[in-house]
Structure 1
Amino acid sequence: MSDNLQAHIRGDVLAHVSGNLRRLRQAAGLSQAALAQASGISRRMIVAVEGGDANISLSSLDKLAAAMGVRFVDLVRDPACAPSAEINEVAWRGAEADSTAILLGTAPATTEAQMWFWSLGPGERYAAEPDPAGWHEMLFVTEGTLRLELSGAAKELPAGSFTIYATDQAYAYANAGTLPVRFVRNVIS
């Protein structure tokens, strides 16, 4: 994992799940037993998660969120942070210290999600027309420094960084450096 990405991580998602689950369950007017029945997750597991004593799977978190009528990200998001597209939280840890999954961000989707791998040579620029309202992009730079231009304002994204933005505005990707820039691009419509 790059130092830039590691610096973005505020904490372990499991630290937020406990309080978020309890708060959202109560807001939904559900007892632990009612949530267990609605989600198919045992009451014992729900008690353990709310107590901060269990490591729950991502698919089980998704079932709990669906049963409460909330999004997965509502369970994992740091409640102290204002809602935004950026999450920056560890959502899974493996047995090895280098094994983690970081939920970088989220954007609403109604039609389709696409994943692209882009490469721009030195001096290359790609200009895009604005997309319909509601479309978003998520970029993660894997190599070099990407210059992202949004409605005329430029933002430099070095390797290991990411951004999420609406594409209902003029935007462009550029490589002002002397080495190739590579990045993952997710389009959500």
Structure 2
Amino acid sequence: MTELVNIEDDKAPDNPEAATAAAVARHVAEQRRARRLSLDALARLSGVSKGMLVQIENARSNPSIGTLCRVAAALGVSVAALVDLGSQDVVRLVRPGEAARLWAGPEGGTAVLLVGSDGPDMLELWSWELKPRERHVSDPHPPGTRELLHVTAGTLLLEVDGRPHEVPAGTSALLHSDRPHAYACKGTRPVRFNMVVMEPHATMRRS
């Protein structure tokens, strides 16, 4: 899985990756300490190595989407909460510069978390672009997780449990993402799609 560029030496306020890494570092540390979890305990719960957790809490690099999902599930919070997109306001506006880019593909593709809620039931709205030859593989999400997709340009090759499904522009899909799945660009044109992720409260792992 492609990681975002290491931002160890670039923490300028106007750098989106640096801002995301700083927010994740702060919130992971706060949530871990609030639950009185050691780094070793969080590593056991999440399946993420202690070394990686140390890097995350020190904002030394941006973790992959899969790593963020595992850490968030172990802490019982949403990915949106870790990137500081959650809010208790009745209406929260997330402006373009505040959305979190959580994946960058080798050919220039991106996955941006536009907005997300915190529990008890967690919802996330994503904007994806995959360039030709790009493919993103995702680990299974917690049981009961579902995704809604709508392709706005190009053709998405959606793989679930190893079975491919072509989703052309203008087409929508519902998938059970609590099993292995992947997204790929089919053809010579970039594919763009919007995605809603729903994770029920009952699946969250509490410390």
- Under TM normalisation by the shorter chain, which class is it? 0.3 to 0.5
Greater C-alpha Rg: 1
